[in-house]
Amino acid sequence: MNTIDKLLGRMTVAEKLGQMTMTSASYAVTGPVIAGDSTESIRNGTLGNLLNLVGAKHVHEMQRIAVDESRLGIPLMIGFDVIHGHRTIFPVPLGEAATFEPRLWELTAREAARETAADGLAMTFAPMLDVSRDLRWGRTVEGPGEDPWLAVQIARAKVRGFQGADLAQADSVAATAKHFCAYGPVMGGRDYASVDISERTLREVHLPAFAAAVDAGVASIMPAFTELGGIPLTMHKALLRDYLRGELGFDGVIVSDYNAIRELIHHGVAGDIVEAATLALKAGVDIDMMAEAYRHGLPVALERGLVTIAEIDECVLRVLRLKERLGLFDDPYRRGSTAEAAEAIAARRRLAREAATKSLVLAKNSGGTLPLRKDLRRVCVIGPLATAWREMRGPWAAAGYEEPSITVLAGLRSALPSAEIVHAEGTAISGTDTSGIAAAAELVADSDAVVLCLGEAAEMSGEAASRSSPELPGEQRALVEAVLDRAARAKVPVVVVLFSGRPLIVSRLMERADAVLIAWFPGTEAGNAIADVLTGRASPSGRTPVTWPRALGQIPIFYSQRNSGRPENPQDHFTSKYLDLPNTPLLPFGFGLSYGRFSYANLTVSPESARASDTIEVAVEVTNQGARAAEETVFLFIRDRVASVARPLLELKGFTKISLGAGETGTARLRLPVEELRFLGLDFEPVLEPGDVEIHVGPCADPAQLLSSRVLLRV
């Protein structure tokens, strides 16, 4: 018998349920406030896990109580939401997705893990892997965007980054893939609402990233709050036990979402806490976060014979094994015991600037407005987001350094030391006050360029932050019109820097502004990164991981839709289209300009006829016809035009980057294993079907910009 089994043998039911419970330490940035009864529970061995406690000193103090004062001395596992950096804040996940750079995805998670571990913590509730195709949903900001293949790549990189080579390392933390699964398609984009999608969409779009996380060895998984076709994920036996544990072989910990077990009562599947706890346990949820359902409900359920002690033991073992893998039994103080070197902190800050810079998506740049000329005499920085340092962090920056993030105004001032930089807010992010608009617009007249900083407040996206009309809030549209009118008269170019946690409905702005830079929420180094791009120190290279619609009525809009039996034909009334809008988006998936100008030629695919075990080599010549060096992201899509199940118009299967100097030509190479062409057949089993598969390569998911070839599958 190993130590963990022996330990289990010595535990009382109350101690077992303690290991299956996680409660909050009433988090406060300046220090934790541990509720008195939690401390007492830790001391008497009936509370095994915490969330929302930060700071090595406090964590170690709680560990000391658990290890030295409780009967069995089992260390605590303490988790925290490290969604896009812990102290140093990286761009929000949607912005990070826009970098299309797996190296960065992994590195930012690695650095976040170091900071988290330095705070004494051993677990994070990240990465968030929910594909989102409805921009009303506030949690779009936390995830990988609209594409399942992209989500898979992010899942792998993030799990590796957080967990490092070995979970027991002092700088590794257990990652939690969340929210399992299909949380994104909540009805009406309203957070926590019902989800009702086809089995095909579930399997093709929402499960792959979780399967990839399991494959990468993720330590923990969190079921979504939501219910899928009437079955809340917190009690979804078919998905948790049969699929996750059975099909995928996941043997890590399943931790419920905040209070989610108790919410089974609201869902209408449990009459009381006893039934709720029973349902979650039967589905295989190991840890009850914040509902107190296991500690209060399971003793009664045991008494009534609704659950068995064997079912409880199974969960306890999984929790103890994770604590063991984290090295907590060997040394509960290993995390947070050594101070970080100043150089490591400085390097992290540089990484934050790099990630932020690469997350920026240049959506429009007419007449070469950007980069700004070096000899600008006077730049006018207008808008409510120009100095809003807190907003730069985006949502879920709970433990971010108190020190302000760099604002656009500060970034531009340091990047353009000889220019006069004037500033006016014009109007607030939200609200109805228009009194500052006229004066702000007047500033424009005597300037060489206007940088207009607009968008959402951080809190307008994230959890419980769905918006029915995700346009520019407050009076910002009035500010835009006033500034653009004045600038047009004075012939001053206007660059809009747009902050948001989701695509916004900004067709008119996109039409009228000279340049538009989508900034998402870039984090600690926001202003420096933006100034780097605006002044040309860096060429923008971000690509949108979500389609931007022209109007809200187009949603859900995503590039991988199916053709339908009546694809859009403007000449034919009875085809799939709107009377009042084209079907095409404002910005397609993958769109983003740079300071280069790229053209594509000579797409080659080899072999042209392939077998299941082959890897197809795809190559394309890319030329930078622009006057400046820049980096291009090259996407590889496929289309299976005739298959037993209708396939999407395009499916992402690869991307790569190529940096080219002015006038330079290079070859971008991508590899496509034939295995990647498998899809779920009529019976949901993966199949490879013989016949042609189209290969499309280019700068984004706009079919008009793609070069095409085909490969013949002989399987």
Q: How many Å from the N-terminal Cα to the C-terminal Cα in the chain?
A: 49
Nearer to ligand BGC, 82 or 370 (CB): 82
Whose CB is nearest to ligand BGC?
Answer: 125
Q: Find all residues with CB under 8 Å of 575, minimum gap 6, and list them.
A: 566, 567, 568, 569
Closest CA to 525 of 199, 91, 190: 91
Task: Please state the closest distance from residue 14 (CB atom) to ligand BGC, in A.
Answer: 24
- What does the alpha-carbon distance between residue 641 and residue 677 come to, in Å, rounded to a whole number? 12
Nearer to ligand BGC, 226 or 624 (CB): 226
Q: Which residue has the tokens 């000449």?
A: 571
Closest CA to 286 of 326, 244, 248: 244
Closest CA to 512 of 702, 360, 362, 364: 364
Q: Find all residues with CB under 8 Å of 266, minimum gap 6, and list them.
A: none
Nearer to ligand BGC, 257 or 391 (CB): 257
257 assigned to active site: yes
Task: Please state the closest distance from residue 51 (CB atom) to ligand BGC, in A.
Answer: 6
Closest CA to 556 of 189, 93, 147, 179: 189
- What does the alpha-carbon distance between residue 492 and residue 715 come to, in Å, rounded to a whole number? 61
Q: Which of 171, 257, 286, 614 is catalytic?
A: 257
- What does the alpha-carbon distance between residue 388 and residue 500 come to, in Å, rounded to a whole number? 13
- What is the DSSP secondary structure assignment for residue 262, as one 8-state letter? T
Strand, coil or helix: 643:
coil
Nearer to ligand BGC, 353 or 502 (CB): 502
Strand, coil or helix: 655:
strand
Write the single-letter amino acid at 357.
Answer: T
Task: Please state the closest distance from residue 258 (CB atom) to ligand BGC, in A.
Answer: 4
State the DSSP H helix or E strand holding residue 228, giving kind and residue range, or none if neither: strand 227-228
Q: Which residue has the tokens 């509730």?
A: 125
- What does the alpha-carbon distance between residue 224 and residue 232 come to, in Å, rounded to a whole number? 8
- What does the alpha-carbon distance between residue 287 and residue 261 come to, in Å, rounded to a whole number? 10
Write the single-letter amino acid at 638.
Answer: I
Nearer to ligand BGC, 139 or 647 (CB): 139
Q: Find all residues with CB under 8 Å of 607, minimum gap 6, and list them.
A: 614, 616, 711
**Angle (deg, nearest 10), helices 526-534 and 342-359:** 50
Q: What are the residues facing 220 on neighbouring strands?
A: 176, 253
Strand, coil or helix: 652:
strand
Nearer to ligand BGC, 178 or 295 (CB): 178
Strands (E) located in 244-344:
253-254, 288-289
Nearer to ligand BGC, 49 or 633 (CB): 49
Query: Would you say 640 and 647 are in contact if contact means Cβ atoms under 8 Å apart?
Result: yes
Task: Please state the closest distance from residue 121 (CB atom) to ligand BGC, in A.
Answer: 13
State the DSSP H helix or E strand holding residue 444, giving kind and residue range, or none if neither: helix 437-444
Q: Under the rule (CB under 6 A), what is the footprint of ligand BGC?
A: 51, 81, 125, 178, 257-258, 463
Task: Please state the closest distance from residue 257 (CB atom) to ligand BGC, in A.
Answer: 5
Task: Please state the closest distance from residue 559 (CB atom) to ligand BGC, in A.
Answer: 27
Write the single-letter amino acid at 529.
Answer: A
Nearer to ligand BGC, 87 or 647 (CB): 87
Nearer to ligand BGC, 175 or 429 (CB): 175
Q: Are strands 615-624 and 598-606 parallel, antiparallel or unpaired?
A: antiparallel
Q: What share of the chain is helix, strand, coil (3-state, %, to 5)?
A: 35, 20, 45
Nearer to ligand BGC, 292 or 463 (CB): 463
Residues annotated as catalytic (active site), given as ranges: 257
